């Protein structure tokens, strides 16, 4: 199984980091970016003008396009790396199907309004078979990958040959890879860890200490496990890096935009003002609402999700809401 020609779909920091890894392996990529001015600046400067400017590229090895149909037509594997709230707007421009493509998502978010993770959305709306999809997960801040710091990725795909083929493309001296069949579990875990990172940020802003944050993340792992066991029962080890590792790095790291967003709220910013000050999307804001809606039907005990939802969407006072949550933790 070969991945064929690969295109990166998106222009942010994680897209840039993945593009750097892929092009160093393949020698050529396609790259879909929405803005022509961004493409022109990239070609002139030799790096992304807006994100990860430390990552230099040979622009002759990249075919840029601002037309999503050009990329979808010319390339076999499409790696979607864009904020989940914008995914539908990009896909609406498609005039061809995707059912003959190997669709890979590295979005770590959920599609607002549809309350579906990306693989479910591609399957239900665009008819892409699950065995022709993969997800890239694991503790992987784009900034560290761009700096070539050792990182570990998990490639989720129900087709083991496809998973191994993509794994080989992403493997290098600073990227270790492994494969897993748990596509939906990896995606929903990635959504939930963003929610929990907002919670740790709020607690950080409220001046809770490391002892409490450790208890918080321990309970977050248990809550995640309850949800996955109910929603997508499958034999999985939640201690694997794609679950626990990603939760820890998102909850603790200064690179985490979700933790940063939560910290601002804990310090007294309104949700709207915190969003205005953030230069990048905090996926957990949208993920919180979607997961709350999904859990209305499942009825899983999720006090951390409920607390973050109350703060973000119901105007709950963070100090009071977290104090109530603390009484439920153990």
Cα 121-123-127 angle, rounded to 5 deg = 125
Q: Which listed residue (108, 193, 289, 292) is catalytic?
A: 193
Active site residue 20: no
Strand (E) positions, the chain? 6-9, 29-32, 62-65, 77-80, 102-105, 110-111, 116-117, 133-137, 151-156, 175-180
Question: How many other CB atoms are found less than 10 A from the CB of residue 258?
Answer: 28
CB 150 within 8 A of CB 144: no
Which is it for strands 29-32 and 6-9: parallel, antiparallel or unpaired?
Answer: parallel
Going by C-alpha positions, the residue among 85, 137, 94 that lies closest to residue 280 is 85
Burial class of residue 88 (count of CB atoms within 10 Å of its CB; 0-12, 13-18, 19+): middle
Which is it for strands 116-117 and 110-111: parallel, antiparallel or unpaired?
Answer: antiparallel
Residues acting as catalytic residues = 193
């Amino acid at each position: 199984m070969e991945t064929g020609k690969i295109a990166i779909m998106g222009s942010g920091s994680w897209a840039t980091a993945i593009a750097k890894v892929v092009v160093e392996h393949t020698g050529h990529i396609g790259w879909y970016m929405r803005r022509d001015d961004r493409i022109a600046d990239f070609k002139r400067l030799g790096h992304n003008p807006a994100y990860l400017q430390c990552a230099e590229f040979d622009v002759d090895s990249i075919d840029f396009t601002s037309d999503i149909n050009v990329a979808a037509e010319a390339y076999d594997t499409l790696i979607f790396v864009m904020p989940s709230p914008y995914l539908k707007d990009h896909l609406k421009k498609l005039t061809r199907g995707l059912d003959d493509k190997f669709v890979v998502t590295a979005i770590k978010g959920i599609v607002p309004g549809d309350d579906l993770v990306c693989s479910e959305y591609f399957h239900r709306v665009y008819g892409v078979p699950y065995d022709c999809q993969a997800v890239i997960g694991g503790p992987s801040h784009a900034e560290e990958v761009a700096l070539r710091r050792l990182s570990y990725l998990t490639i989720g795909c129900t087709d083991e040959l496809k998973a191994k083929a993509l794994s080989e493309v992403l493997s290098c001296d600073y990227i270790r890879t492994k494969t897993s069949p748990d596509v939906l579990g990896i995606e929903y875990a990635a959504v939930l860890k963003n929610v929990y990172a907002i919670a740790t940020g709020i607690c950080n802003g409220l001046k809770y200490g490391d002892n409490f944050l450790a208890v918080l993340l321990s309970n977050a792992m248990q809550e995640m496990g309850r949800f996955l066991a109910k929603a997508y029962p499958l034999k999985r080890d939640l201690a694997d890096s794609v679950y626990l590792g990603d939760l820890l790095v998102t909850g603790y790291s200064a690179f985490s935009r979700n933790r940063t967003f939560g910290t601002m709220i804990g310090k007294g910013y309104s949700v709207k003002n915190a969003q205005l000050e953030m230069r990048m999307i905090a996926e957990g804001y949208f993920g919180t609402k979607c997961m709350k809606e999904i859990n209305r039907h499942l009825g899983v005990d999720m006090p951390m999700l409920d607390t973050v939802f109350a703060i973000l969407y119901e105007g709950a006072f963070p100090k009071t809401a977290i104090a109530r949550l603390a009484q439920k933790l153990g």
